[in-house]
Amino acid sequence: MENTEKKKVVFSAIQPSGTITLGNYLGALKNWVAMQDEFNCIYALADLHTITVRQEPAQMRKNIIDAYASLLACGIDIEKSIFFIQSHVHTHAELAWILNCNTQFGELSRMTQFKDKSVKHADNINAGLFTYPCLMAADILLYQADYVPVGADQKQHLELSRDVAQRFNGLYGNVFKVPDGYYPKHGARVMSLQDPTRKMSKSDENVNGCVHLLDTPEQIMKKFKRAVTDSEACVRYAEGKDGVNNLMAIYGAVTGLTNEQIEHDFAGKGYGDFKTAVGEAVVETLRPIRERYEQYIKDKAYLEECYRKADEIALKISSRTLNKAMKKVGFIL
Q: Which residues are catalytic?
A: 117, 199, 202
- Cα–Cα distances in angstroms (integers) from residue 256 to residues 91, 108, 187, 244, in the given order: 40, 39, 12, 17
User: Is 195 in a helix, a strand, or coil?
Assistant: coil
The order of strands in the sheet holding 9-14 is 82-85, 40-45, 9-14, 147-149, 180-182
Q: Is the dihedral of CA 93, 23, 255, 246 positive or negative?
A: negative
Rounded Cα distance between 183 and 314, Å, is: 24
Q: Which H or E element spans position 56?
A: none
User: Is 83 in a helix, a strand, or coil?
Assistant: strand
Q: Which H or E element spans position 75?
A: none
Read off the amino acid at residue 107.
Answer: E
Rounded Cα distance between 321 and 143, Å, is: 7
Rounded Cα distance between 141 and 11, Å, is: 9
Instruction: Judge whether 52 and 120 are in contact, CB under 8 Å.
Output: no
